[in-house]
Amino acid sequence: MALFTLRIGLLTTVLHNLASASPLKVRQDAAPTATVKNGTYNGIYSSEYDQDFFLGIPFAQPPVGDLRFRNPVSLNTTWEGSADATEFSSACYNYGGSATSTGTPFSEDCLTLNVVRPSGTEPGANLPVGVWIHGGAHIQGSNRDPMYNMSFIVQQSVAAGKPFIGVNLNYRLQLFGFMYGSAVVESGVGNLGYKDQLLALRWLQENIAAFGGDASRVTIWGESAGGESVGAHMISYGGRDQGLFRGAIMESSGPINPFRYNSPAEWDVYYNAITRAANCSTAIDTLACLRAVPSEALNSIFASNVTASIPSWGMEVDGDFIQGNAREALLSGHFIKVPVLQGQDHDEGTALTVRGINTDEQFLANVRSRGPDNATALEIAALYPDIPEIGIPPTLEGRPPASLGLQYKRISAFVGDLVWHAPRRLTDQILARNNVSSWSYEFNVVPNGIAPTMGATHFTEVAFVFYNLLGLGYPDSPFEGTPQSYRDVADIISRYWVNFIVDGDPNSCEVGPYRWPSYSLSNPKIMAFDANTTDLAFPIPDTYRTEPIQYISDHLDSAFGR
């Protein structure tokens, strides 16, 4: 299920040169180079950004042929002279929506990363590193998407006197990266997309110093499925800290699975349908048979109705990378304890709400479809009364029309709390109990191009965090026709992110009128970002919808299978 259709394209740049603001040595005369363990790469110098780009760098052997549906394998080749890192690689195969109609090249050979650094950064500079993991429901997205252009926020870091190096990476998606079932678990090849990310982080530990980065100051950072990925790494291997990152940013997701867990046996229904479609169902080793299917043929099967009934993609318990229920892992303290910055958009629920819910019975049926029995569903209905004034989004005034759903605002509030708000609050509470510093936020700005029926929905903060004032990659620029306060919010929120990536604390350099309070059990507060207020960014109590959110948190496992 795609939470947001991604637009793919090449970087286009029109921002002015910030060389004069940079405290770093400026070099403009030659292509930048970096010598990693395997050899030397040539990059690109951008005079418009005053940055060095190293693009399409492999961090693993291509997962093709016999390496398909296997754990990623480290590179084992070296070269003399230099190799070019001047073009984006192909994206990993994408699925759903318009993901494959943008002219972007797709391939199984896609396990690459990009490095963006302030120009003049040399080995020994020891700059912090921010590693972006893209979202897209684990079926869409890539590191070449201009919405995730690292240049703007890296420029922000230079302007603030806190330069860092930006990295974004590809990982296998959909069935190439998240195949599941008994055969997969028995072979130890589950959660491959997460393991791709893990190998990229290991590659950075060995090589980021060659670009001027500090391997001991890596922050992993993602939104939606990318935020879930970050959360997965926090609980990976039973919470064993391998020293791969020292901070975590999770936007609109986290370690608590947003969808119900499936057992391997339950998933075998889907796995068997796939092997039948690929003429592999009678093979002694079905995974070996699938590895021999031509890439395009397998991609066509994965894009067909054969996979339409698979309920979700992403985190599954494989007994290896994910050893058990994430909620239980957090509650038992089996997670990597690093500073966390996390949060969600005010109206997240509108992104996943089913339209056309007009009656109490339809509301109850929707709740029951997510796992609860009838008695639990009735309790939830009482906690989420049919009062449009307290539902979401507030930008949709009054009772919605029947075409949208008379109870659209009611179901949107419930879905948003179930998938996003309750897991975020519970995660904050657990972090606080374990004396782990965390800072949380709620983003309440409706960008240009987003209808009032959606409000401050899923993904709306991304352009602001990336300081993407030009709206690169968006069909409609989020900032076009908006007041100056929108740009001011983008400036504030991106500088908070810079502070956290560089120092592990969003308050390390003054940003706006208020200090962002760390989360506490005695006085829980989060930072609100709202362009329609005077302060733009200000602390608020984390007490909204206290009773219904607590009820969901208490029943995440028993009623919702999470």
Summarize pLDDT for 303-316 with one digit per residue, the tens: 999 999 999 999 99
The pLDDT score that the predictor gives to residue 99 is: 58
Residue 233 has pLDDT above 70, yes or no: yes
452-463 in b/e form (b: 16+ CB < 10 A) is ebbbbbbbbbbb
Rounded mean pLDDT of 489-496?
98
Nearest to 380 by CA among 389, 388, 369: 369
- Of 260 and 450, the structure prediction assigns the larger pLDDT to 450
- In the numeric block, the tokens 């897209």 are attached to 136
The pLDDT score that the predictor gives to residue 327 is: 96
Kind of pairing between the strands at 40-42 and 33-35: antiparallel
CB 136 within 8 A of CB 96: no
The pLDDT score that the predictor gives to residue 98 is: 59
The pLDDT score that the predictor gives to residue 29 is: 57
Do 340-560 and 44-332 fall under one CATH topology?
Answer: yes
Residues of the chain above pLDDT 70, percent:
94
On average, the pLDDT of the chain sits at 94
What does the domain layout of the chain look like in residue ranges? 44-332, 340-560
pLDDT tens, residue by residue, 6-54: 333 333 333 333 333 333 444 445 899 999 999 999 999 999 999 999 9
Rounded mean pLDDT of 502-506?
98
The CATH number of 44-332 is 3.40.50.1820
Tokens of 360: 């109490």
Out of 128-132, 164-168, 246-250, 555-559, least confident range: 555-559
Cα dihedral 457, 462, 467, 470 in deg (nearest 10) = -70
The pLDDT score that the predictor gives to residue 512 is: 82
pLDDT tens, residue by residue, 97-141: 755 556 899 999 999 999 999 999 999 999 999 999 999 999 999
The pLDDT score that the predictor gives to residue 25 is: 44
Indicate the pLDDT class of residue 287, thresholds 50, 70 and 90. very high
The pLDDT score that the predictor gives to residue 208 is: 99
Does residue 413 sit in helix, strand or coil? helix
CB 123 within 8 A of CB 31: no
The pLDDT score that the predictor gives to residue 6 is: 33
DSSP-assigned beta bridge partners for residue 487: none
Class of domain 340-560 (CATH, top level)? alpha beta
Rounded mean pLDDT of 66-88?
98
Out of 16-30, 241-255, 369-383, 391-405, least confident range: 16-30
Rg value, the chain, Cα: 23
CA 82 to chain centre: 33
The pLDDT score that the predictor gives to residue 515 is: 97
pLDDT tens, residue by residue, 196-231: 999 999 999 999 999 999 999 999 999 999 999 999
Indicate the pLDDT class of residue 562, thresholds 50, 70 and 90. confident
Kind of pairing between the strands at 44-46 and 165-169: unpaired
